[in-house]
Each structure stands twice: as structure tokens, then as C-alpha cells.
Amino acid sequence: MLKITSYGEVTRFDISRTLAGRGRYWTTAYLLGGTLVDSGCAHSASELLGALASTSITRIVNTHSHEDHIGGNGPLQASRAYPATTGIEPKSAGINLEVRAHPLALPVLADPHRRQPLHPYRRLFWGWPEPCLAQPLCDGELLRCGDYQLQVIFTAGHSPDHLCLYEPQRGWLFTGDLFVGGRERALLTPVPGIGGQDIWTSITALKRLAGLPAQRMFPGSARVRDDPARELAGKAAYLEKMGERVLDMHRAGKSVPEITRLVCGGPMWIELFTLGHFSRRQLVLSYINSLEFKPPGGER
């Protein structure tokens, strides 16, 4: 299922798999100046290709390598590859539609099936992405997109390979899954060899973005926001306050199950559906076990 909305010069694609006649677990891609920011899930890749058939896309930038953001990469790149009759060497096939991403994302983009194992619920909703050819981005790099330019900002937290994009002249901020609205009560369990979400690193990244003079925020899902600094700072403050409660209870000797119940409330249906892969317990553990952040006021 695909929904298309225009925000001036930015086109938004809300993408999901259709199940029982409804879109389930939506993700979002954005198009500006020939650059597509993320490409949705594999199950809906054909719909995205159809919607983009008459557009002049020269680049895909992935905010991170999760399957619901890279599913259109391979099909889009293949659909715009040089024909075999051009005589271009095979190693160069597809370079007329480049894919750019964080260096840590490249192994997953090259071989999603082997490098990013998917739980059953992830295969159901988003599917296995096809591989693509991709090149690395650098933190701070500027990408020319027609009349626009996008500044690359590395923002590990949601995943180690996460990045955001900022258009400084217009104040547009593309946040991927670092900011998707809502109030977290659960977190994904890390995947061995790949890593996972780190809540303190996410807080640091949210604060960094809140310092930008952004005018409009385009998240990886949820609604577009017109007061990015307030929204980002508010989310960082909420998560930081939660972390302080978790650490205070941890220092007081409370167990992880106790802290989970007191801070995150009762069980969530998604914990059962994902067989514990997405859980309140993992959120609490991320606050306690993070090696990247030393909260003010004492040792963890």
C-alpha cells in the first residue's frame, strides 16, 4: 500500500504491506531534487517503482539498514541499470542510480539475507530486501540534490549505522527512525554481530539535532513536524528523565523486572507478537548496560 503527499518541494511516500485490506506498520520515504531518502519495504517495492517511474531519480540515501528502509533499493537500482547492450563493464552496472549510506550499513545492503537475519514478524510485515550496490557517506558530507544540498549527520542510537540529513537553506531535517514521535516504552533486542539500539546514544543524537535551526522535520514514520527543536528536545528530555529513574532504581538494588514494571508499565501486546524481540525489558537494559554514556551524578 502506498500513499503520496506533497510538502512543497518534498514528496512523501508512506509505504506498508497490505494485509486484510489494510496497511500495516507504515514506513516513509521522501523525494527531493532527484534524491530518495529511504525506499520502504520489499513487499511494497513494486508499488514504489510504479510511483517513481516518470521521475528522474539519481540517488538513494538510506538513513540506516533496517529492512523497512532499504526494501526498494535493489529493485529501483536494477530497474534503472544500464542495458547490457551499452557495453559497460558488469562491475559498473547500476551506477546511474547510486545508493549511499553509512559505512556500517554497506555489508547489509550488499547481502541483506546473510547479514541481517529477520524475525518472523519482520519477514511478515516488511520482507527480505534484495541486495544493491552502495557507497559510503562521511559525517558532515554535503550532497547536491538539484537546487538543494543535504548535510549528512551521523546519529547512532536507533542503530549503529543511523544517519540524518539536513537541508540548511530551507531548514529541512530528515530524521529516519531517530525521531518517530510517541513515547518509547520498549526497544529492539540487539542482533549479534550487528548491534542494536542504544538509548543514551539516541539521547545525545536528539540533543545534537535539537541545536540545529531546523524549520520542518520529516521523520521515518509519523507526521511531519513544524517545530523540530522543541519536539527533539522534548523527546530527549523524556528519555533522559526515564533513564534517571531507571538508574536510581538500579543503584537502589531493584531487579530489572521490578524496574521494567515500575518505569515502563504493564506488558505490551507487541512483546508477545515479536516473541520478546521488541520489549520493555530491553529498554531498561539499554539504560543500564550502555557503554557509550556516563550519566551525570555518579557511576552506573
Using the CB atoms, write b or e for 212-228: b if 16+ within 10 Å: bebebbbbbbeebbeeb
State residue 195's pLDDT score: 62
For the entire predicted model, the pTM comes to: 0.89
- Is residue 293 situated within a structural domain? no
Backbone angles phi, psi at 260, to 5 degrees: -60, -45
Considering the domain boundaries, does residue 32 fall inside one? yes
Is residue 99 in some structural domain? yes
Q: What are phi and psi of 35, to 5 degrees?
A: -110, 130
Nearest to 262 by CA among 250, 278, 276: 250
Question: Minimal CA–CA distance to 162: which of 38, 245, 247, 40?
Answer: 38
Report the CATH number at residue 117: 3.60.15.10
On whether the CB atoms of residues 7 and 226 are closer than 8 A, the answer is no
- Position 105 in a domain: yes
Could you tell me if residue 287 is inside a domain?
Answer: no
Determine the Cα–Cα distance for residues 203 and 200; give it in Å rounded to an integer.
5
Position 274 in a domain: no
Tabulate helix, strand, coil % of the chain (nearest 5).
Answer: 35, 25, 40
Digitized pLDDT (tens) for each residue of the chain, 300 residues in all: 889 999 999 999 999 887 777 777 789 999 999 999 999 999 899 999 999 988 889 999 999 999 999 999 999 999 887 554 334 344 444 457 999 999 999 999 999 988 888 888 788 888 899 999 999 999 999 999 988 999 999 999 899 999 999 999 999 999 999 998 778 888 888 766 566 788 999 999 999 999 999 999 999 988 999 999 999 999 999 999 999 999 999 999 999 999 999 999 998 888 888 888 889 999 999 999 864 444 444 433
Q: Can you give the residue range of the structural domain that contains 77?
A: 1-137
pLDDT of residue 82: 55
Q: What is the rounded CA–CA span in Å between residue 168 and residue 287?
A: 33
User: Residue 294: its pLDDT value, please?
Assistant: 47
Tell me what pLDDT residue 89 has: 43
- Is 132 within a domain? yes
249 domain-assigned: no
Domain count, the chain: 1
